[in-house]
Amino acid sequence: AAGVIQSPRHLIKEKRETATLKCYPIPRHDTVYWYQQGPGQDPQFLISFYEKMQSDKGSIPDRFSAQQFSDYHSELNMSSLELGDSALYFCASSLRLAGDTQYFGPGTRLTVL
């Protein structure tokens, strides 16, 4: 079965640079979620989209923005990167009418130097 695809899998950036993370949900899934997992931490919700509209927002810094495109893929844009942004970023997708169980991608490991 197709899974959630995230790219890139690893990303190294310098402080103050910009990063773009991409997420391709499971086909036919209508909802995308982004989570951030710091070292030794549990995943923290950032933002979600349902049918290409932002539907919920968590503890996402103003330096971050995201959107979901017409083909349902989503991108998380991160600007003015800080050392503390180094983390594993997960994308998850779900199908609202099928119980909305979230299936996670493999994550993007972002390292900010």
For the bound state, the minimum distance from the C-beta of residue 85 to other proteins, rounded and expressed in Å, comes to 17
Pair 17, 2: CB distance under 8 Å = no
List of E strands, the chain: 5-7, 10-13, 19-24, 31-37, 44-50, 53-57, 64-68, 74-78, 87-94, 103-104, 108-112
- Chosen residue from 56, 63, 77, 80 binding other proteins by CB under 8 A: 56
Lay out the site mask for other proteins across 11-50 (x = CB under 8 A, - = otherwise). Answer: --------------------x-x-x-x---xxxxx--x-x
Would you count residue 61 as binding other proteins (CB under 8 A)? no
Three-state DSSP state, 17: coil
Would you count residue 52 as binding other proteins (CB under 8 A)? no
Would you count residue 100 as binding other proteins (CB under 8 A)? yes
